[in-house]
Amino acid sequence: MQSKLSELLNIKYPIIQAPMFLVSNVAMVTEAMKAGIAGCIPALNYRTIDELRSAIKALKANKIEGGSFGFNLIVNKSNVKYKSQLEAICEEGCDFIITSLGSPEETIIQAHAVGIKVFCDVTDLRFAKKVEQLGADAAIAVNNEAGGHRGNMSPKELTNLLSKELSIPVISAGGVGCKADIDKMISYGASGVSVGSPFIASHEANVTDEYKQACVDYGKEDIIMTERISGTPCTVINTPYVQKIGTKATWLENLLNKNKSLKKWVKMVRFSIGMKATENAAKKATYKTVWVAGPSIEHTHAIQPVKGIVDKLIK
């Protein structure tokens, strides 16, 4: 399973354990490295920069040959901690950064100056060309089977297109739950894959057993899109609670959204309420179950250690 991605990161298998808000942690990434793959944590999983620095130090201490670790940065204005997170990551050091939402220009310049590679989330050719021209080391092609904020194009269409048009490696994100899925992505031209949802039901993940068990009990037919978390459509498990609250913006939000000056505030309030609800559902026992996951949980049949999940992806 050697590929351009395994060469870039010096890992045994061309797989990244994808960054997941509220879910990813040091224990997961440490086990990912032991299993011979890369792991990535959203910088936003740490409330303070000191906590972020401690996590980087812990991963540096746990790093072993054949594994690799990185951090995910939201690079647009919605992330008020972006500058201090980038500074901490560049000072402490890691193998790679994954950028999402916004221009990666500044991140690429600063990260490259200290030898950190930068991979950028993209969902179409135009943005992929832009990140390539800015110097990204690889493009992460987020397709319409991904968990979280997914893209619009199918895995085949997007991976084929980007691997033909770009000269940097293309990593396919979305819809990978077993070895056959990885083989498919490689046949479409991918240099590796980024896998998120299947790792939610891992012993090491930072979420409740109810959330993990839901990833076992529900399947791809149960994944729907909701606007009720961040305002931007996001994939969630269609639990009775999600059915009860609905997936569309409320009539009041729609009404307020029509007013140009109020629109920005409505978005911020929606974002903050939605994030709090998701955090509570992920971390506390509550009937308000808003669980983010993608259709690749189809292949999740038990709560397992990270190593067992990686085994399933490589065997």
Ligand X SMILES: Cc1cc2nc3c(=O)[nH]c(=O)nc-3n(C[C@H](O)[C@H](O)[C@H](O)COP(=O)(O)O)c2cc1C
Q: Which of 26, 305, 295 is nearest to 148 (CA)?
A: 295
Rule CB under 6 A: is residue 173 a binding residue for ligand X? yes
Question: Is residue 147 a contact residue for ligand X (CB under 6 A)?
Answer: yes
Residue closer to ligand X by CB (options 207, 266) is 207
* Binding piece for ligand X, criterion CB under 6 A, among 1-9, 15-23, 256-264, 303-311: 15-23
Q: Return the range that interacts with ligand X (CB under 6 A); candidates 18-26, 55-63, 252-260, 262-270.
A: 18-26
Q: How many residues bind ligand X (CB under 6 A)?
A: 26
- Residue 150 or 270: the one with the smaller Cβ distance to ligand X is 150
- By beta carbon distance, the residue nearest ligand X is 196
**What is the smallest separation between the CB atom of 148 and ligand X, expressed in angstroms?**
3
CA–CA separation, 167 and 65 (whole Å): 28
Q: Which of 315, 67, 299 is nearest to 197 (CA)?
A: 299
Select 176 or 266, whichever has its Cβ closest to ligand X. 176
Rounded CA separation 41/261 (Å): 35
Q: Shortest Cβ distance from residue 177 to ligand X (Å)?
A: 7
From residue 150, how far is each of 54, 178, 282, 293 by CA, in Å?
Answer: 30, 19, 20, 11
For ligand X, which residue of 116, 118, 146, 168 counts as binding (CB under 6 A)? 146
Residue 179, judged by CB atoms within 10 A of its CB (0-12, 13-18, 19+), counts as middle
Contact call for residue 123 and ligand X (CB under 6 A): no
192 binds ligand X (CB under 6 A): no
Q: Which is nearer to ligand X, 132 or 145 (CB)?
A: 145
Report d(CA 278, CA 296) in Å as an integer.
Answer: 20
Asked if 196 interacts with ligand X (CB under 6 A), we say: yes
Q: Extract the tokens encoding 70.
A: 């990185």
Q: Identify the DSSP state of 251.
A: H
> In angstroms, what is the minimal distance from the CB of 77 to ligand X?
16
Which of 75, 160, 294, 298: binder of ligand X (CB under 6 A)? 294
Tell me the C-alpha distance between 179 and 80, whole Å: 38
Contact pattern for ligand X over residues 296 through 315, marking x by CB under 6 A = x-------------------
> Nearest-CA neighbor of 40 among 20, 65, 12, 54?
20
Q: Min. distance of Cβ 255 from ligand X in angstroms?
A: 30
| 21 binding ligand X? (CB under 6 A) | yes
Among 39, 70, 102, 148, indicate the residue that binds ligand X (CB under 6 A): 148
Distant-in-sequence, close-in-space partners of 311: CB < 8 Å, separation ≥ 6: 35
CA 194 to CA 39: how far, in whole Å?
9
Type and span of the H or E element at 112: helix 105-113
Enumerate binding residues for ligand X (CB under 6 A).
18-21, 23, 42, 72, 100, 121, 142, 145-148, 173-176, 194-197, 292-294, 296
